[in-house]
Amino acid sequence: MADKITHFEIHDIRFPTSLTGDGTDAMNTECDYSSAYVSLHTTSGLVGNGMTFTIGRGNDIVRIAYGVHIVCIAIREVANRLVGKEIESLFENMGKAWDYLLADPQLRWHSILSLKMSRIGPEKGVIHIATGAVDNALWDLFAKSRKKPLWKLIVDFTPEELVQATAFRYISDAITREEALQMLKEKEATKSEREAFVKENGYPAYVTSAGWLGYDDEKVRRLTKEAIQAGFNHFKMKVGTNPTSDLRRGMIIRSVIDDPANLPKEHVPRDPKTLVGKNAGPTGNVLMIDANQVWDVPQAIEYVKGLQAIKPWFIEEPTAPDDILGHAAIRKALKPYGIGVATGEHAHNRMVFKQLLLAEAIDVVQIDSCRLAGVSEVLAVLLMAANLIDYIAVSGSIDRNVLEFVDHLHEHFVHPCSINAKGRYNVPLNPEEGYSIDMHKSSIARYEWPNGSYWQDPEARIAHGLDK
Ligand SMILES: [Mg+2]
């Protein structure tokens, strides 16, 4: 009997990170890192999990009379479209499955359940991140059904299969299917070499956890030293609320990462080609800064010029994420200072990335796979940028790529990521882990909003200002 999607579950999970300052930046000073989490179930008992990322208390702005998180409602509407579908017919053409998820005209245009939240689409806002959670769950299901981690499922695709799985609509002025196919075919012969290399060495990673705005100087100094000892050579610091304090914190990080005495004993000098254009210091260490959208365009330019002494590789999210021309102006103004511009974690669809790339507004593309509408759209951006995470199949080089590593909340996941002694991501090899997104049932029970045991605990409620 054909395996069909029978039902789904949705959970509003909120972790109380606001109490420790984890995740604090110039815009988000008190975050409870949260997710709207969806599980698709099939007749045979397979479960595919997906999520989109939200920030706890901010969710209350969009809570409605039903007392249900609006993203969860949107996920319900999108996931409903999959109930009763045969999974193999979906897996046969994931690009088509993605089109189908997006194709409900009511969800695309108007409001959900008559909420007066006009124009929640198309391909943006609540409906788009909800589609991301559902599409991610479908890919998790696909990978698990093939007993492969997600990356392996995708790199084992033929060029034709990969192109078929990609969301190409609206981007043919940046890349056509034919161009993508040719690019992938050119890399096909050497794919297994790159796979072997990345399995052995890991995928380059950078650490953000040392430089959250809510941490004091000593904590920043200590965490930076620990990160160097752990093998990292890319470090990111949050900036944007106070130029004097940012310069001071930046100088602390720079002094720690540029000091050879802090390098680990077994330190191997970095390959210079991995450091090109990154303002690396004498030890081969790189600093990046992230403003989380806090500035206007002229303000961004002046502020970042003032941080020239700490030699950042790039400024991330200097201004509003939708402002393509603003990013282009900032990039142009900072170029003489050798500082690049990065953005993308709030770019809500592939068309925004297309414009950022075509307007030469950014040096570095940063995708959030829980904000874009799932893997099919991520592939579209990767193919457009042709230099990002799926290096095995797409760009043929990881020389300059780094993936963010944040050391929080891993304990809630069944298959957490891990970092090797070189400060790189270990490549997931467990055939059962799919998207590596399964959350422990106990974590869901504890942190589900509003009835999880944590959120019902009187002490916790007082600490979060929920009760007096
Ligand atoms: Mg950021």
Does pTM top 0.85 for this prediction? yes
pLDDT of residue 30: 62
> Of 381, 349, 351, nearest to 166 (Cα)?
381
Span from the CA of 292 to the centroid of ligand 1 (angstroms): 6
Span from the CA of 318 to the centroid of ligand 1 (angstroms): 10
Span from the CA of 212 to the centroid of ligand 1 (angstroms): 11
pLDDT of residue 381: 95
CA atoms within 13 A on the CB side of 261: 2
pLDDT of residue 333: 98
Span from the CA of 315 to the centroid of ligand 1 (angstroms): 10
Q: How confident is the model over 360-395, as pLDDT tens digits?
A: 999 999 999 889 999 999 999 999 987 463 444 555
Q: Is the pLDDT of residue 117 over 90?
A: no
Span from the CA of 345 to the centroid of ligand 1 (angstroms): 7
d(CA 411, CA 220): 23
pLDDT of residue 402: 83
> Of 441, 382, 405, nearest to 174 (Cα)?
382
Whether 405 contacts 206, CB under 8 Å: yes
Whether 38 contacts 49, CB under 8 Å: yes
Q: Is the pLDDT of residue 434 over 80?
A: yes
Q: DSSP 3-state helix, strand, coil percentages of the chain (rounded to 5)? A: 40, 15, 45
pLDDT of residue 201: 92
Residue 65's pLDDT band (cuts 50, 70, 90) = very low
Span from the CA of 371 to the centroid of ligand 1 (angstroms): 13
Q: Helices in 189-323 by DSSP H: which ranges?
A: 191-201, 217-229, 243-257, 297-305
Span from the CA of 25 to the centroid of ligand 1 (angstroms): 9
Span from the CA of 140 to the centroid of ligand 1 (angstroms): 25
pLDDT of residue 74: 87
pLDDT of residue 67: 42
Whether 138 contacts 153, CB under 8 Å: no
Q: What is the mean pLDDT of residues 325-352?
A: 96
Q: How confident is the model over 77-100, as pLDDT tens digits?
A: 999 999 999 999 999 999 999 999
Span from the CA of 88 to the centroid of ligand 1 (angstroms): 37
Residue 109's pLDDT band (cuts 50, 70, 90) = low
- For residue 413, the SS3 value is strand
Span from the CA of 320 to the centroid of ligand 1 (angstroms): 12
At residue 30, φ and ψ (nearest 5 deg) are -140, 95
Residue 19's pLDDT band (cuts 50, 70, 90) = confident
* Strand residue runs (E) in 310-378: 312-316, 340-343, 364-365
List b or e across 335-362, with b for residues whose CB sees 16 or more CB atoms inside 10 angstroms.
eeeebbbbbbbebbbbbbbbbbbeeebb
Span from the CA of 316 to the centroid of ligand 1 (angstroms): 6
pLDDT of residue 54: 74
Q: Is the pLDDT of residue 105 over 70?
A: no
Span from the CA of 191 to the centroid of ligand 1 (angstroms): 31
Span from the CA of 236 to the centroid of ligand 1 (angstroms): 9
Span from the CA of 197 to the centroid of ligand 1 (angstroms): 28
Whether 404 contacts 368, CB under 8 Å: no
Span from the CA of 24 to the centroid of ligand 1 (angstroms): 11
Q: How far is CA 234 from CA 223, 358, 400, 428, 448, in A?
A: 13, 27, 11, 21, 34
List b or e across 279-297, with b for residues whose CB sees 16 or more CB atoms inside 10 angstroms.
bbbebbbbbbbbbbbbbeb
